[in-house]
Amino acid sequence: MSGDRELDVVVFGATGFAGRLVAGYLAGHAPGGVRIGLAGRSQRRLAEVRAGLGAGASAWPLLVADSADPVSLAALARAARVVLTTVGPYRARGLALVAACAEAGTDYADLTGEVLFIRDSIDRFHDAAAASGARIVHCCGFDSVPSDLGVLLLHQAARGDGAGDLLETALVVRAMRGGLSGGTLASMMGQLEEVRASAERRRVVQDPYALSPDRAAEPDLGDEHDLDRARYDAQLRMWTGPWVMAGINTRVVRRSNALQGWAYGRRFRYREVTGFGVGPAAPMLAITASAGTKAAEAGLAFGPSRALLRRLLPAPGQGPGEKTRRTGFFRIQIQTRTSDGLRYLGTIEAQGDPGYAATSVMLGETGLCLALDTGQLPDRAGVLTPATAMGAALATRLRSAGHTLAIQQITQLPGKFPRPGLAGQPWRAARRAFAAGAAKEINKALTGTRSASHHSDGRARSCRGVCCHDCGITIATDGIGLARAVGDDRYSPNRGIPLPWLRHLTGPRVRAAVRRALPSLVRHGLITWRLRTFHHTPQRRAWPQPWCGTSILGRGDLPRKAAGCWSRAGEINWSRPVP
């Protein structure tokens, strides 16, 4: 890229809603000496925007350019080192600017969330941009900077610890508050109209690897489609629902992995969901939010309702007010497990409306990073992602701007135990997890105990209930893995699981895998065996007291050898893990 340009950064679309916010951020936070310009269709409106930015922006040049005029776009690209564009819908108005920047060797960044636009950009301009040295970086706002940088930082932390590749990785939106703009709605409606009109485009949008540089080389990891309904997630130990930006974010993250030679791992599985916790209201919240998402999609896809929504919702150029932007926020967690069995947790947070206040920071810092941090950027060019174009350099800038991007190694997933009443769905997920039979994953190990009619000292049991019947089974849950998917301390042993359920959940292969794993788990202090008894009355169930029973999954001498702990009657039970 040429270093003798007139300007370092140009904001194209500076008179639009998002463009004004990005220009305002640069006016308040760009270092002295950075040459910034404003571009748009109207000289008069550009001058009005500049006048509202304060004295520091009074000398910023104004460039007139139109997305429908390739000549003006070529002149714009030749004048700047970096072009930041907020002019959408991008598929209708953005490709000409991508072409101009790719030809001129000018770095480019936008706020698109349109899969079809990015796919066209890759197919048509990746080679030209790579040849000219231009970095074409899509999705530099709330979609998809938190996702893309968060996973990159997890990968770097795991690699630094020698923890192996990333495996199951999930982004969970824990909390968010913000508004909606007309430009975002216009982009969504445009892509929905294209998808409805073409089965081929619909297949592209629905493909989890739609943005891959080499689709045929991607691994086959089973079903990786985005969540489209409310469900209890046994791995995350919470109720989850669809996340509206998963359709773009997951594809950007997978492209980052492929562009780096599948550095995250060939078995890297990534998904994004909205988290609703495990409280009594969580299932209803998840179901309501999922239904609302589907209703909104249906409304935008159906002609008459779409026309009505156009009149009721913000028009292009409109967006949330100052108070909404100031009081908004987002809080995201990304959890991953590595091939060596370690777990990491990433936390990404920021104050300000995610789609506008926080996004203006992300795009503004992207422009400054591309213009000023060239010596710290990865040696890549072409149609890239935030992680592959800027990586840790952008993360450092965002931290300095007040965003939180933190990575830590954890021993267990954060959050509360799910309540027993919400444990219907986890059994299916738990069964699938156990069916894999991998001994490394059986820190989720399960053991069952057959209730006896007498205590080990010969006293008859006085307690009653499902867990005390001779034909019953109780599951002694621990504090990790499957136990947290099925319930908390109150789930065991008061609430027994009938024997057919246990047989349905665990087949011979699974029981054998658990038996193989138990000695190692005990040896490393992950679980411990203790003698317990318990009591409850019909009026009030008491929480677990010490009790006794006979191991089912650990029959014979294995428990004795594994635990080194044995009651007088040879009865054992699996208890809470040692911290």
* DSSP secondary structure letter of residue 31: P
As a whole number, mean pLDDT of residues 236-253 equals: 94
State how far the alpha carbon of 544 is from the alpha carbons of 9, 68, 248, 541, in Å: 65, 72, 47, 9
State the pLDDT at residue 280: 83
Q: Sorting pLDDT into bands at 50, 70 and 90, what band is 333?
A: very high
pLDDT at residue number 314: 66
Contacts of 218 (CB under 8 A, 6+ apart): 209, 212, 254, 258
Q: Could you give the CA distance from residue 511 to residue 509 in angstroms, rounded to a whole number?
A: 6
pLDDT of 56 higher than 50: yes
Q: What percent of the chain has pLDDT over 70?
A: 67
Tokens coding 389? 């174009």
Separation of alpha carbons 116 and 251, rounded Å: 12
Average pLDDT value over all residues in the chain: 76
For 463-491, the pLDDT digits (tens) are 222 232 222 223 332 222 333 333 333 33
Would you say residue 547 has pLDDT above 50?
no
Please state, as a whole number, how many other Cβ atoms lie within 10 Å of the Cβ of residue 473.
Answer: 22
Question: pLDDT tens digits for 59-78?
Answer: 999 999 999 999 999 999 99
In this predicted structure, the answer to whether residue 449 has a pLDDT above a threshold of 70 is no
Of the ranges 229-233, 464-468, 551-555, the best mean pLDDT one: 229-233
C-alpha to C-alpha distances, 224 to 16, 162, 316, 355, 439, nearest whole angstrom? 36, 27, 33, 26, 24
Structural contact between residues 459 and 421, judged by C-beta atoms closer than 8 angstroms: no
3-class secondary structure per residue, 458-477? CCECCCCCHHHCCCCEEECC
Q: Which residues pair with 241 in a beta bridge?
A: 274
Give the pLDDT confidence score for residue 26 in this predicted structure: 97
Tokens (6 digits) for 162: 């020698």
Sign, Cα dihedral of 379, 384, 385, 386:
positive
What integer is the mean pLDDT of 32-45? 96
Please identify which residue in the block is written with the tokens 């992680």. Answer: 387
Q: What is the mean pLDDT of residues 530-555?
A: 31
Which of 105-114, 280-289, 392-401 is predicted least confidently? 280-289
pLDDT at residue 22 greater than cutoff 60: yes
CB 166 within 8 A of CB 158: yes
Q: Where are the domains of the chain?
A: 145-354+402-410, 421-563
Select the more confidently predicted residue: 496 or 218: 218
Alpha-carbon distance of 363 to 391, in angstroms, equals: 14
Smallest Cα–Cα separation from 395: which of 157, 170, 171, 38?
A: 157
Distance CA 285, CA 174 (A): 13
- What average pLDDT does the segment 31-37 reach? 95
Residue 177's contacts (CB-CB under 8 Å, 6 or more residues apart) are 327, 328, 329, 330, 353
Round to whole Å and give the CA distance between 205 and 299. 19
pLDDT of residue 66: 96
- Work out the burial of residue 54: count CB atoms within 10 Å of its CB; fewer than 13 is exposed, 13-18 middle, 19 or more buried: exposed
Percent over 90 (pLDDT), the chain: 55
Asked if residue 99 has pLDDT above 60, the reply is yes
Give 158-194 pLDDT, tens digit per residue. Answer: 999 999 999 999 999 999 998 766 666 677 777 777 8
> What amino acid occupies position 557?
D
